[in-house]
Amino acid sequence: MSVVQAYRFALDLSPAQERAVLGHAGAARVAYNWGLARVKAVLDQRAAERSYGIGDDQLTPAPGWTLPALRQAWNTAKEDAAPWWRDYSKEAYNTGLDALARGLKNWADSRSGKRSGRPVGFPRFKSRRRSTPAVRFTTGAIRVEPDRKHVVLPRLGRLKLHESARKLARRLQAGTARILSATVRRDGRRWYVSFTCEVQRARRTPARPCATVGVDLGVMHVAVLSTGVLVPNPRHLDAALRKLRRISRALSRKVGPDRRAHRDASKRWCRTRTALGRAHARVANLRRDGLHKLTTRLATGYGTIVVEDLNVAGMLRGRRLARRITDAGFAEIRRQLVYKTDWYGGRLVVADRWCPSSNTCSACGAVRTKLTLSERTFTCTTCGLVLDRDVNAARNLAALAATVAGSGPETLNGRRADRKTPPAGLVAVKRLPGTATADKTGTVPPQGRTSDHAPTAAS
């Protein structure tokens, strides 16, 4: 099985190497801003000509914003736009132009209706202070050294790694991996190199291929399994809030940059901002580590995993639980389960957004008409079942797997309703006709139900 997989390693750069990487990232930003200014000027000119009553056939020719067109225009104008262009690799300019081409395409597709989801705005210029320095290499000498402690990149030379690259080196030596590109990026005041590789993975089978588990995501417990296992929510952001507030307060009292007054930031402001970035990066790393361990345990242990199709964007509109929902990482859990179930030979079933999993009794199938968020114990008035609310919902999700056909990595169960489901038992849910498979990106068309664990904006 051939998959595209990324391997990410931390770098230990010398001051000279860090300046070289920053120069390449700056070259990418210059090419991006140059192309955006060119496209924007032509679009503004065409809009002005239309306001004068000029016909469409007499307007200024529309600019080409595909990557080949932008690259050809850059090669023509780079002597005047960037006389120093020979100091950096051509891949740096290609990085900026490729990001601009993708941004313009997403904006155009969003306006024409080809792209679903939230409307995509017009690309904006990148700032040296606010943008994340990054550069990608697709050609040239890209390899891992035999000592597995160094990597070689075009124009940057031999860079030392903070950790061993043995996982990637073993696959490269065995011939089961091929490097497609390498991206150097600064994240949380530390530099990383990410290798995008085409990997040949062996077919694997979960430990219990016939077992099914329902996963109910929440805030009190990040995941509740139908087997009764409660995965606690570590709440890394809440634990670090006191430190983050203290550093943010100290940063606000330092002399920061002011572009209008042509004032540079003080060294103390820069040091404090670095400390703030490290604190945020630590929270992100802790969250990422916990979610990877959870999703890997699920994907390797169960043949079928059932999760809900949560409207995370709608849940974040509620100001009370938005921060805790973001800290839990619902969307990241779903994203990781999509590709990990494919890796380990399992199946991911996505329950319909309108499925009343929390309101339905997992024993008899009776549906309660109302279940407030404060009721953490589900009590069935028909059969007398008394069970934890989240465990009951997880069992209902696991029961849905029996009604779903298909062997793809992600299967959507439900009828794609556009309004709330009327009171009905789980038996009615089992009679839903047909299933639909998600697209190649693993996305599902947005619908309007919110989570059972968070109030909506109206509430």
Q: Is 388 a catalytic residue?
A: no
Q: Is 80 a catalytic residue?
A: no
Q: Are 353 and 311 in contact (CB under 8 A)?
A: yes
Amino acid at 428: A
Q: For residue 350, with 0-12 CB atoms within 10 Å meaning exposed, 13-18 middle and 19 or more buried, which class applies? A: buried
Ranges of beta strands (E only) in 174-301 are: 177-187, 190-200, 208-217, 221-225, 230-232
Any bridge partners for residue 8, and if so which?
194
How far apart CA 332 and CA 350 sit, in angstroms, is 14
DSSP string, 169-191: HHHHHHTSEEEEEEEEEEETTEE
Q: Is 91 a catalytic residue?
A: no
Q: Are 336 and 292 in contact (CB under 8 A)?
A: yes
Any bridge partners for residue 230, and if so which?
224
- Report DSSP state, residue 254: S
- Active-site residue (options: 216, 309, 352, 410): 216
- Active-site residue (options: 327, 342, 352, 390): 390
Label residue 153 left, alpha or beta by phi (over 0 means left) and psi (-120 to 50 means alpha). Answer: beta
Q: Are 385 and 363 in contact (CB under 8 A)?
A: yes
Residues in the chain: 459
Nearest CA-CA partner of 42 in 60, 30, 57, 56: 60
Q: If you search the block for the tokens 């062996």, which residue do you land on? A: 202
Catalytic annotation, residues = 216, 308, 390
